Amino acid sequence: MDLDAITEYSALHPKPSGLILQYGTAGFRTKAEHLDHVMFRMGLLAVLRSKQTKSTIGVMVTASHNPEEDNGVKLVDPLGEMLAPSWEEHATCLANAEEQDMPRVLMDISVKAAVNLQQDAFIVIGRDTRPTSEKLSQSVIDGVTVLEGQFHDYGLVTTPQLHYMVYCRNTSGQYGEATLEGYYQKLSKAFMELTKKTLCSEDEYRSLKVDCANGIGALKLKEMEHYVSQGLSVQLFNDGTKGKLNHLCGADFVKSHQKPPQGMEMKSNERCCSFDGDADRIVYHYLDVDGHFHLIDGDKIATLISSFLKELLLEIGESLNIGVVQTAYANGSSTRYLEEVMKVPVYCTKTGVKHLHHKAQEFDIGVYFEANGHGTVLFSKAAETKIRQLTKELEDERRKAAAKMLENVIDLFNQAAGDAISDMLVIEAILMLKDLSIQQWDALYMDLPNRQLKVKVADRQVISTTDAERQVVTPPGLQEAINDLVKKYKLSRAFVRPSGTEDVVRVYAEADSQENADSLARAVSLAVF
């Protein structure tokens, strides 16, 4: 390691003294102007991680659904998954080291993590459409170069596209080709195969309105459009040509305000969806004939997908186990429907996709979605091999066709990360195949009215939780206070937890009516103070 060169380059990306940042649930995220040194240092860290794992590592510059003025960075581990927890700690140490200490901290990490500095390193870099992203990704590249890592800059890509590239490169191209063309080809081939014999050919089923949050999703959907245009016609709104990123639109806005996005013309009963700013989340929505807004969130997406997969398995006659993974934010009605009506086992993990992803890996088929629309389906290697084998071996035509369908579903899901484009294509295919309208899908179960609030407190870390964040441990007395409030309402549930991405405590409540959910959420917020 050339410490002089590191010191010299680091001086071009100086750390504002005293600034402390945390590698949180989604990496580092804050105002873009505070991030230059973090980007440079994450370039350095990615090289160490790549040397240690002898694999390609990804660096994505994005702040997802956060305001346009923010930015962020996260590292992507070899199989496209989130950075390992011990390296999150290294990331935090490195980002917070004062200028003069940084080279030493870097050395310490490489010793602690037993990094062989002679090993080659390869980094892939991607960024979203924020005005600050290009310059910040250049700072990442500076960090990579000073440690003599090789790199490929994919430029503008969605977060899940970068995860896909990392996964492809570390599986010798078996998963797919590590190019955008490879990504579009793989997904569109699976989608077209799946939908070529669909029941319905009416235009109504083939057209979908997409709110792109004025983000990267718009650019990438435009690139992809012609690959799938025979099966699906997408009409893009909030494509970034006029509005501001994530402002009054996008999946996060729609989910948290339970309102239609601005900038989208919605007629009654038209099928619409919203991506978030880096296109790893998706929610669906529509207006009914009375003009009422209906949100179809990650929970209902998980339900649609798992019921489709269960039926396919039944048809194939193969007993692979399916598990659905949710967080405490999952609507109580969805959990009840999955367990009691669909009879699939449901598990609850802490918030943050890495926890859900990890749990979903325990099943032959692991379906995971956060209520906010971030999720995917994972197939174990054994299950995938079995299904591919069945498509060749089965003689019964119906069973064979079902196995082929499942094979295409495997190819259509992004196995590395939740992906709005891939999820959208899966959902569209299922709706076409089942001849389901958005209203019929919505009617699977009725969401319990719910409310999410944010509370600003002096130190959010005084709140600690257990039981997948559903119970408060500290401060003492708070859980009892919540229990007493919950008892006052019917069909009610409430919990609080410190956010991993914002300096707030989040409050969630559900109850038998919107008024009651609102009132419970407000009462719990007051108990938090």
Binding residues (CB under 6 A) for ligand NG1: these are: 25-26, 64, 329, 351-352, 370, 372, 374, 499-502, 506
CB of 506 to ligand NG1, least distance (A): 5
The option from ligand NG1, Zn ion, none interacting with 447 (CB < 5 to 8 A, set by class) reads none
CA–CA dist 523, 529 (Å, integer): 11
- Alpha helix positions (H), 27-78: 36-53
Q: Are 71 and 35 in contact (CB under 8 A)?
A: yes
Amino acid at 394: L
Report the partner that residue 53 touches, choosing among ligand NG1, Zn ion, none (CB closer than 5 to 8 A by kind).
none
Q: Which amino acid is at 491?
A: L
- Identify the active-site residue in 10, 50, 64, 110: 64
CB 498 → ligand NG1: shortest distance, Å?
A: 8
Residue labelled with tokens 């969805």 = 334
271 binds, among Zn ion, ligand NG1, none (CB under 5 to 8 A by kind): none
Q: Which phi and psi angles does 136 have, rounded to 5°?
A: -65, -35
Prior bond of 475 cis (ω within 30°): yes
Q: How far apart are CA 143 and CA 37, in angstroms?
A: 9
Q: By C-beta, is 280 or 469 nearer to Zn ion?
A: 280
Could you tell which of ligand NG1, Zn ion, none binds residue 370, using a CB distance below 5 to 8 A set by kind?
Answer: ligand NG1
Beta-bridge mates of residue 57: 123
Which phi and psi (to 5°) does residue 270 adopt? -80, 140
245 or 309: CB nearest Zn ion: 245
Pick from 10, 25, 64, 170: which binds Zn ion (CB under 5 A)? Answer: 64
Among 68, 77, 211, 276, binds Zn ion (CB under 5 A): 276
In the region spanning residues 416 to 445, those forming contacts with Zn ion, defined by CB under 5 A, are none
- Shortest gap between Cβ of 62 and Zn ion (angstroms)? 7
Residue 313 contact, options ligand NG1, Zn ion, none, Cβ 5-8 Å cut-off depending on partner type:
none
For strands 293-296 and 282-287, give the pairing.
antiparallel
d(CA 49, CA 60): 15
**Whole-Å CA distances, 519 to 156, 419, 487, 524, 529:** 43, 35, 13, 9, 16
State yes or no: is 519 an active-site residue.
no
Task: Give least dist CB 140 to ligand NG1, A.
Answer: 20
> CB under 5 to 8 A by kind: which of ligand NG1, Zn ion, none does 280 bind?
Zn ion
| Cα 104 to the center of its chain, rounded Å | 35
Q: By C-beta, is 25 or 52 nearer to Zn ion?
A: 25
The interface region with Zn ion, picked from 43-51, 59-67, 315-323, 458-466 by CB under 5 A, is 59-67
98 three-state secondary structure:
coil
The C-alpha atoms of residue 92 and residue 85 are separated, in whole angstroms, by 11
Residue carrying the six token digits 């089965």: 394
The residue (of 180 and 455) whose beta carbon lies closer to ligand NG1 is 455
Taking the least distance from each CB to Zn ion, the nearer of 414 and 492 is: 414
Between 167 and 329, name the residue whose CB sits nearer to ligand NG1.
Answer: 329
| Residue of the chain from 77, 81, 88, 278 that contacts Zn ion (CB under 5 A) | 278
Active site residues: 64
List contacts with Zn ion (CB under 5 A): 64, 276, 278, 280
